[in-house]
Amino acid sequence: MAELSGRVALVTGGGRGIGRAVALSLAAAGADVAVAARSDKELAETVEAIRLTGRRGEAVRCDVGDRQQVDAMVARVRKALGDPLILVNNAGVAASAKLTETTDEMWDGMLRINATGAFYCTRAILPLMRQARWGRVVSIASVASKVGGPYLAAYAASKHALLGLTRAVAAEVASQGITVNAVCPGYVDTAMTDASTANISAKTGRSPQEARAVLEHFSPQGRLMTAAEVAALTTFLCSGAAEGINGQGLVLDGGAVQS
C-alpha cells in the first residue's frame, strides 16, 4: 500500500465512523490526508491520529452543501498539503420516514448533503486531477443507491443520485487517468447505525439488542459491516491495482444485494 506515498487525499465527513477509518487507512497507505466535517473536536482527534502514522494531516471545518465553503476548503487543503488528487465523498446524513411524513426540509437536506455536496467537491477538485492526468474519486454511497426500501424515499433518492453522478463522471474522465467509483455498504457498525437502532427501538418497543438484530439480519452473514471493511475497499480503489475499476458501485453487505 506504500504506492500512495506522495499523494494527498481529502476525506469529507472525516471526523468519525467510516470517514475516520478511511482517513487512517489512506494515511497508513502513505498518503497525506485532509479531513473535513462540521465538528472541530472530532476533526482534531482524527488529524492527531493521522499524524501519529507519520503522515501530514489537516482539519477543515466545512459544510459540503455550501459551495463557497467547499471552494474555500479545497483552497486551504492545496495550501496546507498540496493538490488533493484523492477525493473521498463520505459526508452524509440519514433519516427515515413514511413518504407522506417526509418533510420538505428532510428531502432538501438529504439531497443537499448526500448528492449536491459530492457534486460540489468533485467539481472543485476534478480540474486538478485533469491537470495531473491522475485522480481517484470514491463516494461512499449505500445499498440504498441500488435498491429502494420502505421509509427511505429521501435517503434512497439521494444515494441513487450519488451513484448516478459517479457513473456519469466516470464516463467523462475515463481516458484521463482518473477513476470514479462508489462503495455501497449495507448497515455498518457506526454511530449512525446506532441512531437507526434507537429509532427502531423507540417505534417498535423492541429492546436495543433486538433492534440491532433486525439490522444484522439484512445481511445473509447475520452481521453489520465494519468501518474498517469500507475503509479497506476504499483504499484499494485509490490504489494502482484498481486502475481498471471505473464507474462502479461496489456493494459491501455480505451478499444481500447482488447487482
pLDDT (tens digit, 9 = 90+) per residue, 151-163? 999 999 999 999 9
Backbone angles phi, psi at 179, to 5 degrees: -120, 145
| pTM given for the model | 0.94
Give yes or no for a contact between 88 and 140, defined as CB atoms under 8 angstroms apart. Answer: yes
* Residue in 222, 245, 238 with CA at minimum distance from that of residue 30: 238
Domain assignments of the chain as residue spans, ordered by start: 2-186+226-251, 188-224
pLDDT at 2: 52
Q: Report in angstroms the alpha-carbon separations of 248 from 10, 28, 133, 135, 211.
A: 20, 24, 20, 15, 32
Q: What is the pLDDT of residue 106?
A: 97
* CATH code for the structural domain at 2-186+226-251: 3.40.50.720
The reply to whether 187 belongs to the active site is no
Reading the block at residue 228, the C-alpha cell is: 474498517
Q: What is the pLDDT of residues 44-79, one digit of tens each?
A: 999 999 999 999 999 999 999 999 999 999 999 999
> What pLDDT, on a 0 to 100 scale, did the predictor assign at position 214?
84
Q: What is the dihedral of CA 24, 28, 31, 33, to 10 degrees?
A: 20
Decide if pLDDT at 1 tops 60.
Answer: no
113 near 106, Cβ under 8 Å?
no
Tens of pLDDT along 82-98?
A: 999 999 999 999 999 99
pLDDT in tens, 170-191: 999 999 999 999 999 999 998 7
8 Å CB contact between 173 and 180: yes
| Residue 94 burial (CB count, 10 A) | 18
User: Span 137-145, mean pLDDT?
Assistant: 98
CB 7 within 8 A of CB 25: no
Residues with Cβ within 8 Å of residue 254, at least 6 apart in sequence: 186, 219, 220, 221, 222, 223, 225
Average model confidence (pLDDT) for the chain?
Answer: 94
Task: Give, in order, the Cα–Cα distances in Å from 239 to each of 108, 118, 139, 233.
Answer: 34, 21, 15, 10
